[in-house]
Amino acid sequence: SEELLRRSEKLSVVGELAAAIAHEIRNPLTSIKGFVQMMENGLDEKALYYNIVLSELDRIEQIISELLVLAKPQSVSFQRKEIGSMIRHVLKLLEGQANLHNIQFVEEIENEHEQIDCEENQLKQVFINLIKNAIEVMPDGGTIKLSCKKDGDHLLIQITDQGPGIPEDRLSRLGEPFYTTKEKGTGLGLMVSFKIIKDHQGSIHFSSEVNKGTTVDILFPLSIQ
């Protein structure tokens, strides 16, 4: 039946994911093991090894915490929430990080009190992931524009950065597990975000111009049937 097919498709995705995770976790773990073995010999470069161990542990922690968002029980409760104020809240959270990089947020929230059916923590996670990506591609500062407006029976949220952009042949790789171009990236933020947006019957679209910047469009229905 259709339900069975859907379930087995889901299972194979989960299996693939588990294999990919195991593979990704093995690399930092092998590194930790090697360095801990060297520490056993009481070398004087101990401090350096400790730092490497700690940063590898941090990395595992980050990968696991991003995956936990996916592993959460599916019976999340959807409630009507104002997206405008949710975005404002997320901007407050990321203000410090933005200031550090000379980045200004420009808010254009037109329909502040417009509500949609959503799971607040999950949507916040999406906005955090996307705005963080924008911050991370602008190390020398600039402006990140956030807009939120009603578009028929949908709400359109746009995030525009002045980063290096994404070459067209790489657009299709966005959301692929562990796809990252960053030295310390996990390549999981977009995959998690795409999943959450899909669970909200929404859609996401990237448009980008190399050396100019990227705009992310997210569209949510005002109410979910």
Q: Which does 35 bind (CB under 5 to 8 A by kind): Mg ion, ligand ADP, none?
A: none
Phi/psi at 200 (5° precision): -100, 15
Nearer Cβ to Mg ion (32/186): 186
Write the binding mask 120 to 149 for ligand ADP: x where contact by CB under 6 A, - elsewhere.
---------x---xx--x------------
Question: Residue 5: how many CA atoms within 13 Å on its side-chain side?
Answer: 2
Number of chain residues interacting with ligand ADP (CB under 6 A): 19
151-210 residues near ligand ADP, rule: CB under 6 A? 161, 163, 166, 174, 179-182, 185-190
Pair of tokens at residue 186: 């996990």
Pair of tokens at residue 110: 């037109």
141 Ramachandran zone, left/alpha/beta (phi>0; psi -120 to 50): left
Q: Which does 155 bind (CB under 5 to 8 A by kind): ligand ADP, Mg ion, none?
A: none
Is residue 141 within 8 A of residue 101, CB to CB? The reply is: yes
User: Which residues of the shown chain bind ligand ADP in the complex (CB under 6 A)?
Assistant: 129, 133-134, 137, 161, 163, 166, 174, 179-182, 185-190, 214
